[in-house]
Amino acid sequence: MGQAARRKRFDEVRAAPGYVSPPVPTREDRVTALETLRALPLGSGVGLRAAALDALRHVEGERRALADDMTGVVGLGRAVGCTWAEIGAAVGITRQAARERWHDLEGSVPS
C-alpha cells in the first residue's frame, strides 16, 4: 500500500460516521481523584480508605481508557504508514518495544 493509499484510508476512517477524535485529558481531569484524596484529613479512618479505593478505581478506569485510545491511535498511525521506530519515538520507547507492545497490530500494514 503506497503513501497516497494509506492517507486515503486514514481520511476515510476519520470521515466515517460515528468517528470521534479521542479527547485530550486536561491536567485537571487526570488529577481530580488524587487531589480529592489528598484533601481528606488523615484521621478520617474508614472514609480515607474508601476515598483511596475510589481514587484507585477512577485512576484505573482512566488508565484503561487511555490504553485503548493509544492502541487506536497506533493502529491509525500504522494504517497511514508510520514505522515502529516513529511510533516508539513518539511515546518515548524503542522501535522494538513499540512493536512488542502493539504486536496485535503487526499485520495492519503490509511490509
Contacts of residue 84, defined as CB under 8 A and 6 or more positions apart, other chains included, come to 95, 96, 98, 99
pTM of structure: 0.53
- pLDDT surpassing 90 at residue 59: no
Residue 10 contacts residue 88 (beta carbons within 8 Å): no
Contacts of 79 (CB under 8 A, 6+ apart): 6, 9, 10, 13, 108, 109
DSSP state for residue 24 in the 8-state scheme: -
Length of the chain: 111
**pLDDT winner (highest mean) among 36-40, 87-91, 102-106:** 87-91
Give the model confidence (pLDDT) of 6-47 as tens digits.
Answer: 667 666 766 767 666 655 555 566 566 666 666 666 665 556
Grid cell listed for 64: 484503561
